[in-house]
Amino acid sequence: MFLDVWWDAAFGGVIGLLLGSFLNVVIYRLPKMMERQWATELAQMNAADQGQDVTEPAHETFNLMTPRSRCPSCGHLVQWYENVPVVSYLFLRGRCSACKTRISVRYPLVEIATGALFFFCIYRWGVSPAGVAWCAFSAALVALAFIDWDTTLLPDDITLPLLWAGLLAAAMQWIDVPLYASVMGAVAGYLSLWLVYWGFKLATGKEGMGYGDFKLFAALGAWFGWQALAPIILMSSVIGAIIGIAMKIFNSLREGGYIPFGPFLVGAGFTAMVFGPQAILGTVLKLFGL
């Protein structure tokens, strides 16, 4: 029985490694797909305003499947054996096989992180609807964290399905959160940051966060219930403060000193998944000597 649990978890980890490779594609391409869509819509609006024919500009098909992955430096098409999670990176010594340009270490790190999260989820919840649900939750958060860090975007294509999946998981009793708590968590999560956003904007005239943060916090409320919102926002604020101070010390802040909040919400979400929301609250209170 003990070995069966470990075998199941190991299998989950392998699936996570494979999915992590796909998440690298999502992290890179989804924002570019969104930008192309916005550019097309803007061009169509301008054409309509000028009384011109509204036609979609012709461009190369670009989605999560097409075109094939290639080296951004030399255009070398990545072969299947160069795309084996982690192993290919080590075999290629972190460089393109054609032009020898260095490949970012983040690619295998995303794969390893996703594999580790899947291993944990299957080990804890088994090969069950709950285990699969938390694996999906983990994959979505990994993608959102890196996309937001790179582009300050939290795509609706991920945040909204994540929110609805949390409500469905609660309704089907796949997660240990009553449906009422899940619904109220989604509502309270969205409205709380929405109010903070407008309060900050009215007071300063600036936007302190984006609407994607509201939707992500609502999704976390759906997965953990309204009771978990306070611990999650406290933990995300602590994580953000620590990283922000470290970046300021090492002069690595971006222009304007802006740091996206989504990755810190993701960090708090993973902490809640592993340790539980109440454990987060206790840790934060101890940190401040309360």
| Residue keyed to tokens 């996570």 | 16
Closest CA to 147 of 136, 133, 159: 159
Q: What is the pLDDT of residue 50?
A: 75
* Residue among 229, 220, 225, 226 nearest 269 (CA): 220
Q: According to the model, what pLDDT value does residue 187 have?
A: 97
Residue 172 has a pLDDT of 97
pTM of the model: 0.91
pLDDT score of 246? 83
* Integer Cα distance of 8 and 19 in angstroms: 16
Q: For the beta carbon of residue 31, count every other beta carbon within 10 angstroms.
A: 17
CA–CA dist 129, 169 (Å, integer): 9
DSSP state of 175: S
So what's the pLDDT on residue 212?
A: 94
What values do phi and psi take at 79, rounded to 5?
-80, 165
Rounded distance between C-alpha atoms, residue 18 and residue 12, angstroms:
10
- Residue 70: phi and psi, rounded to 5, are -145, 165
How confident is the model at residue 160, as a pLDDT? 97
CA–CA gap between residue 284 and residue 290 (Å, rounded): 9
| Pairwise CA distance, residues 160 & 158, whole Å | 6
Domain boundaries, the chain: 1-126, 128-290
Burial zone of 214 (CB within 10 Å; 0-12 exposed, 13-18 middle, 19+ buried): buried
Record the tokens describing residue 172, joined without a space: 């089907």
Contact residues for 131 (Cβ-Cβ < 8 A; gap 6+): 12, 121, 122, 124, 125
pLDDT at 158: 97
* Average pLDDT per block of 10 residues along the chain, 290 residues long: 82 96 96 88 77 65 86 87 92 91 94 98 96 98 97 95 98 96 97 92 84 96 95 88 82 72 94 85 61
Cβ 96 vs Cβ 103: under 8 Å: yes
* 145, 268 Cβ separation under 8 angstroms: no
Angle at 146 between CA 142 and CA 150, to 5 degrees: 170
pLDDT at 54: 60
